[in-house]
A and B are shown apart, each in its own frame.
Chain A
Amino acid sequence: MGDYSQADLEALRQAWPQPAPPSPDARTAARDALLQRAAATAPRRTRRVRLPRAGRRAVTIGMLAAVLSAVALVVDPTAVEAPRSIVPGMALPAANAQALLGRAAEAAGRRAFTAPRPDQWVYIATRVQGVKQAAPGEVQTARTPLESRVDRAWTRADGKELALYEDGKLVRSATGGGMPPVDYATVAALPTDPDALLAWVYANMGDLRNLGADGQVVAYRLLGSMLAQNLVPPAQEAAVYRAMAKIPGVTVNPEAVDVDGRPAVAVACVEDGWVSHELLLDRATYTYLGERAIAGADHTAPEPGVRVEDGRKIINMGPSYTIKKGTILTLAVRLDIGVTDRPGVRP
């Protein structure tokens, strides 16, 4: 019996294949039972060490629009490819997303908030992680190592200036406007009515529509990106969640991720049938935690060339590579957000 080939174990695995995922009903029931028991349990230690919760410390993401756009360009060289169907099995029906976003909006609307003065600076620190751009022929998976960096940005509340650390030096520049806005003054002037906000997004997305996704996905991502890059007043934050709830195809992803050990709930919108763009909120407080773009299905970029599909001409640029389901394209976690009197200092 020296030859310990794995054929016998493999035969057992093939004869009883991995079952389908548990039903959402079973999962919810099991989770609820656990959470109920947890809620009924007092912490085991009398000396209560409370972890810092978001709110004051809050957690944020920096230059996420840039990051996410980059991801779209990097992972999606098939810029003119037709969108495919939404990935099945990842999410609960949209009604739940709407209910969840409604609760997030209520929580946002109730949050205490002090507006910055026009000459003050909004500081946001974000940890951004993700796989590198795939090399030709590369297969990326959930186990592919992630690159990680921390972005720190100060933006003057009136939008006149932006300050970033580059090679250890604080570099100041103009914000440059753009979509979504990155300054407090512009964000605070946005409509607080969700329909009006959504209309504004659709009217201002411009060329972003050509990124390859349909307008609804672009609208969803712009709203998410705006949250990531700004100190958003409660009324506008609530409007963002309510506007997202109105975008078709927005779902709840019950496979919550851990952000610093805090259970997060994810609202997701699937782009091109495989990239799931998730907004991460604290499960208990609905505080904004960050964003994640994860492969919700396997994806292989086609070989470069031109082909015709359904009468549409599809141009594929860039090399072919494969990204497996579960690969994290971007995980952006808000580390800190606050207001300072000058750039380069922490709140």
Chain B
Amino acid sequence: MTQVTQQATDAALVERSLRQPECFAALFNRHYSAIHGYAERRLSRPLADDIAAETFLIAFDRRDTYDLSRPDARPWLYGIASNLISRHRRTEIRQYRALARTDVREVGEDHAERVADSLDASAARGRLAAALAELSARDRDVLLLVAWAELTSDEVGRALGVPAGTVRSRLHRARTKIRAVLDAAPTRKER
């Protein structure tokens, strides 16, 4: 009679994969979509295909270094993905700048449209994109792991291998810049 655990922890799966490598596929099933989505938000769908696949190959190769006291493997996987994403930093920044230009021009063409658009979250995208492009790579990593990957500060620290205090100060700096562009928006609408 074997005890059946419907939901083994990620750590248990990683541990099991040391003896039965194919068990690692269960980790893939759990987290592939999320990692892919994160990479796609930061870069593009084709690059996300490569990065998500590569993330799990790297994770598999390093599975014997996984800290088994951590039940949730997401920080570990996002850390690997962040590292892969950082190889495309120029592409990422170029995209944010392009978005900043497009969205600003569209908003500027017609006053009525501008007011309507400013109510819409997508109109904020141009300003946000401009701000993201200006952040340092480290601050951007922290901010987007919190915003898009929805990791906590502690988890971001584990993902990037930096102390939690450092994460918090980077996050504070990044959020201050983001809030500045959001706060500026209503003023422009009133004008």
Binding site for B on A (CB under 8 A): 1, 7-9, 11-16, 18-19, 21-23, 26-27, 29-31, 33-35, 37-39, 41, 43-45, 48-52, 57, 59, 125, 127, 129, 255-263, 283-284, 331, 333, 335-336, 346
Contacts and interface: CB of A to CB of B under 8 A. Distances in A.
Contacts of B41: 16, 18-19
B16 interface: yes
B29 A12 contact: no
Contacts of B19: 43-45, 48-51
**Closest 7 A-B residue pairs measured CB to CB?**
A30-B53, A14-B121, A38-B21, A15-B125, A12-B147, A26-B49, A22-B36
A8 B22 contact: no
B40 A19 contact: yes
Contacts of B32: 22, 27, 30-31
B121 A15 contact: yes
9 contacts: A12-B148, A30-B32, A30-B53, A43-B20, A44-B64, A129-B6, A255-B29, A284-B22, A336-B1
Given A15-B124, A37-B60, A346-B1, 6 more contacts: A29-B49, A257-B29, A259-B4, A335-B1, A336-B1, A336-B2
A30 B49 contact: yes
B70 interface: no
B36 A260 contact: no
B6 A259 contact: yes
Contact of A263 (B6, B22, B36, B182): B22
Given A11-B124, A19-B41, A260 B5 contact: yes
B162 interface: no
B2 A260 contact: yes
A346 B176 CA distance: 65
B139 to A, nearest CB: 13
Contacts of A262: 23, 26
Contacts of A255: 29
Nearest to A13: B147
Interface string B33-59: 100110011000100110011001100
A38 B179 contact: no
Nearest to B128: A15
A257 B29 CA distance: 8
B7 A258 contact: yes
Interface centre among A7, A26, A29 (most CB of B within 10 A): A26
A100 to B, nearest CB: 16
Interface centre among A34, A256, A284, A335 (most CB of B within 10 A): A34
Given A27-B32, A39-B22, A11 B53 contact: no
B122 interface: yes
A30 B12 contact: no
A209 to B, nearest CB: 32
A335 B5 CA distance: 10
Contacts of A7: 179, 182
A187 B122 CA distance: 60
Contacts of A51: 16, 19-20
A21 B148 contact: no
A51 to B, nearest CB: 7
Given A38-B21, A57-B2, A331-B6, A8 B26 contact: no
Interface string B1-18: 111111110001100111
A127 B7 CA distance: 13
Given A8-B182, A31-B28, A259-B4, A41 B121 contact: no
A38 B172 contact: no
A29 B53 contact: yes
A8 B179 contact: yes
B178 interface: yes
B22 A12 contact: no
Contacts of B22: 35, 38-39, 263, 284
Contacts of A39: 21-22
A11 B128 contact: yes
B25 interface: yes
Contacts of A335: 1-2, 4
Contacts of A59: 2, 4
Contacts of A21: 33, 36-37
B78 interface: no
Nearest to A7: B182
Nearest to A40: B21
B58 to A, nearest CB: 10
Contacts of A11: 121, 124, 128, 178, 182
